[in-house]
């Protein structure tokens, strides 16, 4: 009991401070990423993008966010009210929980847990539940189609993702994210596991529903996909979760393959953020490089190419480690 | 042991509260003006035809079944992966057999054409 009281005072403070930090990061990151997405898209198409609000349109997204806050929350009549209202909360919660174990630098981590990577993988899977809840409860044809596609896609790409991450775990022998970074003191794992990195980036793009795997919300066929019936702040939560998921998959990618916070001269946090945003830029680049895949291509690509490759990579890693 | 996860629970509860407050606030702040057309499900401006929850293709079930098999397999592999270095060759061969059986399953499913969407 004494242990409990002693622990709770400091731990509680750490948790609250951590959560405030995470909320700040999530909001600033989303505002920045939306602006970045627009600018990257614009410059790749040789146009300037948003320019009016602030220098180079830098505070355009803040204006948009304020507008969203004041918007009316429309709840259509035929929805399953409890599930419909719960979905935006369920989609946003795992996103906040994933940050619990993300190591921004040597010491800048809310809680360094020995199950770190498993915790992130477990919580990020909950997103698909929220998408199904939102899509099904909306009672809208586009939303239901979007939700079905999203579930099929997310579970298909979950397996190669798990197997790819496992090949890194084999080399480190620990789930702790700080251990994974520490194991890369001599070389980054991207150099010894290039295939794993490629597989990871493909799966991460699919898991975050980004182009070329953005079938769940393909604008030209499904209006807005699973969040067609959401408006105002509820829509904003889906949107926030989507952009924060991009940050999380890139952060995990940076930890697993790019040596996390390691780098010369600059403090660790800067290196970590540089690597994360470089990976995010890569994912944004994909959007303007590859056309959207067909649904049958999407599923067969995961089962016939990615899963056998991930198995092969895992077994070769295990064999090399044993030799 | 389990007390290590108490902070996660605390963090989760605070997070739930916070997200709840965000949703509640916007519920209170936004205006509310109902019209019959606005309360209808969106269907490109037309009146919705029938219910949205149609029967859907059986292939989704097939994919979900494969997922359960392979996901559980991945869960079994994780504990193995973390102690792999101390297991020796026996651990390697054992997992080779385990993965081998699954790969045979994948090849069988592939050959049966269950992975084709058409």
Cis peptide before A318 (omega within 30 of 0): no
Mark which residues 7-36 of B lie under 8 Å from A by CB: 7-8, 10-12, 14-16, 18-20, 22-23, 25-27, 29-33
Domain count along chain A: 2
pLDDT interval class at A282 (50, 70, 90): very high
A1 has a pLDDT exceeding 60: no
Distances (CA, A) of B73 to A121, A159, A311, B79, B100: 15, 9, 12, 11, 12
Judgement on whether residues A79 and A106 belong to the same structural domain of the protein: yes
Q: Same structural domain for residues A27 and A148?
A: no
pLDDT (average), residues A30-53 = 85
Nearest CA-CA partner of B20 in A242, A122, A237: A237
Domain co-membership, A6 together with A103: no
Q: What is the mean pLDDT of chain B?
A: 80
Instruction: Spell out which residues of chain A touch residue B82, defining contact as CB-CB under 8 Å.
Output: 169, 173-175
The Cα–Cα gap between A51 and B79 comes to 52
* pLDDT tens digits, A194-230: 999 999 999 999 888 887 887 777 667 777 777 777 8
For residue A248, name the pLDDT band (cuts at 50, 70, 90). Answer: very high
A19·B66 Cβ contact <8 A: no
The pTM of this model reads: 0.88
A152 interaction partners in chain B (CB closer than 8 Å): 60, 63-64
Verify that A66 and A142 share a domain, yes or no. Answer: no
Q: Which of B14, B26, B116 sits opposite A19 (nearest CB)?
A: B14
Q: What percent of chain A has pLDDT over 70?
A: 96
DSSP letters, A182-236, are HTTSSS-HHHH-HHHHHHHHHHHHHHTT-TTS-GGG-HHHHTTGGGTT--HHHHH
Average pLDDT over residues A172-191: 87
Give the separation between CA A155 and CA A242, rounded to whole angstroms.
17
Segment A275-298 mean pLDDT? 88
Residue B82 and residue A229: Cβ atoms within 8 Å? no
Contact state of B70 with A73 under an 8 Å Cβ cutoff:
no
Higher-pLDDT residue of B114 and A245 is A245
Please tell me which of the candidates A76, A155, A295 has its beta carbon nearest to residue B39: A76
- Could you tell me if A52 and A105 lie in one domain? no
The answer for A 250-289 residues in CB contact with B (under 8 A) is none
pLDDT tens track for B84-111: 888 888 888 888 898 888 889 888 888 8
A93-132: pLDDT as tens digits: 888 888 888 888 887 788 788 888 988 988 888 888 888 8
Dihedral, B39, B41, B44, B46 alpha carbons, nearest 10: -70
Burial code (b: 16+ CB inside 10 Å, e: under 16) for B78-116 equals: bebbbebeeeeeebbeebeeebeebeeebeebeeeeebe
CB-CB under 8 Å, B95 with A141: no
What residues make up the domain containing A23? 1-70
What is chain A's mean pLDDT, rounded? 84
pLDDT confidence of residue A66: 80
Sign of CA pseudo-dihedral A18, A19, A24, A28: positive
Q: Is the pLDDT of residue A53 over 60?
A: yes
**Token match 């790749």: residue?**
A44
pLDDT tens digits, A76-95 = 777 788 888 888 888 888 88
Which distant-in-sequence residues (6+ apart) come within 8 Å of A169 by Cβ?
Answer: A117, A175, B78, B81, B82
A230 and A250 share one domain:
yes
Q: What's the mean pLDDT in B57-82?
A: 85
User: Are residue A50 and residue A107 in the same domain, yes or no?
Assistant: no
Q: Are A260 and A103 in contact (CB under 8 A)?
A: yes
Q: What chain A residue is nearest to B57 in terms of C-alpha separation?
A: A148
Which of A232, A231, A236 has its CA nearest to residue A91? Answer: A236
Q: Last residue of some domain: A32, A49, A70?
A: A70
Res. A57: pLDDT tops 90: no
Q: Which comes out higher in pLDDT, residue A152 or B116?
A: A152
Dihedral sign (CA A173, A179, A183, A187): positive
- Residue B18 to chain A, least CA–CA distance (Å): 10
Please give, rounded to a whole number of angstroms, the shortest distance from the CA of A3 to a CA of chain B.
10
A24, A46, A70 - which closes a domain: A70
Residues A122 and A182 placed together within one structural domain of the fold: yes
Nearest to A104, CA basis, from A18, A163, A212:
A18
Which among A92, A229, A311 has the least Cβ separation from residue B99? A311
Query: Are residues A208 and A80 located together in one domain of the fold?
Result: yes
Can you name the CATH fold of B55-118?
Methane Monooxygenase Hydroxylase; Chain G, domain 1 (1.20.58)
Question: Which of A48, A70, A92 represents a domain boundary (last residue)?
Answer: A70
User: Does pLDDT of A2 surpass 60?
Assistant: no
- Which has more pLDDT, A309 or B10? A309
Q: Which residue has the higher pLDDT, A6 or A243?
A: A243
State the complex-level ipTM.
0.83
Mean pLDDT throughout B55-80? 84
Which residue from A minimizes the CA distance to B44? A223
The CA radius of gyration of chain A, in Å to the nearest whole number, is 20
Which sequence spans correspond to the domains of chain B?
1-30, 55-118
Q: What are phi and psi of B61, to 5 degrees?
A: -65, -45
């Amino acid at each position: 009991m004494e242990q409990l009281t002693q622990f709770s005072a400091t731990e509680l403070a750490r948790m609250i401070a951590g959560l405030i930090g995470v909320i700040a990061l999530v909001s600033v990151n989303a505002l920045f990423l939306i602006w970045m997405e627009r600018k990257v898209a614009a410059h790749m198409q040789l146009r300037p993008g948003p320019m009016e609000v602030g220098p180079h349109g830098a505070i355009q997204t803040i204006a948009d966010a304020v507008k969203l806050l004041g918007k009316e929350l429309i709840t259509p009549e035929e929805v399953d009210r409890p599930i419909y209202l719960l979905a935006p909360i369920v989609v946003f919660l795992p996103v906040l929980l994933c940050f619990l174990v993300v190591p921004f630098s040597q010491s800048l981590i809310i809680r360094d847990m020995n199950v770190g990577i498993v915790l992130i993988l477990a919580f990020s899977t909950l997103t698909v539940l929220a998408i199904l809840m939102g899509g099904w409860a909306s009672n809208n044809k586009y939303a239901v189609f979007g939700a079905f596609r999203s579930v099929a896609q997310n579970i298909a790409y979950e397996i190669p993702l798990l197997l790819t991450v496992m090949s890194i775990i084999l080399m480190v022998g620990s789930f702790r994210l700080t251990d994974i970074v520490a194991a890369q003191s001599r070389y980054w794992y991207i150099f010894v596991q290039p295939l794993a990195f490629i597989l990871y980036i493909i799966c991460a793009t699919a898991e975050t529903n980004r182009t070329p795997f953005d079938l769940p919300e393909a604008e030209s066929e499904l209006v807005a996909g699973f969040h067609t019936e959401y408006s105002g702040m509820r829509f904003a939560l889906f949107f926030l979760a989507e952009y924060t998921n991009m940050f999380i998959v890139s952060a995990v990618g940076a930890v697993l393959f790019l040596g996390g916070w390691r780098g010369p001269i600059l403090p660790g946090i800067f290196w970590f953020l540089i690597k994360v945003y470089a990976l995010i830029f890569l994912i944004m680049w994909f959007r303007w490089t590859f056309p959207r895949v067909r649904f049958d291509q999407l599923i067969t690509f995961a089962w016939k190419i990615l899963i056998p490759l991930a198995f092969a990579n895992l077994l070769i890693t295990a064999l090399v480690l044993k030799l | 042991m389990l007390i290590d996860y108490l902070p996660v629970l605390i963090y989760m509860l605070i997070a739930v509260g916070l997200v709840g407050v965000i949703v509640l606030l916007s519920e209170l702040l936004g205006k509310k003006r109902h019209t019959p057309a606005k309360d209808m499900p969106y269907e490109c401006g037309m009146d919705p035809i029938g219910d949205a929850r149609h029967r859907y293709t059986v292939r989704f079930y097939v994919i979900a079944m494969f997922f359960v098999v392979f996901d559980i397999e991945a869960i079994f592999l994780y504990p193995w992966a973390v102690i792999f270095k101390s297991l020796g060759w026996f651990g390697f061969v054992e997992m080779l057999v385990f993965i081998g059986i699954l790969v045979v399953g994948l090849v069988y499913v592939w050959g049966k054409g269950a992975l084709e969407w058409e």
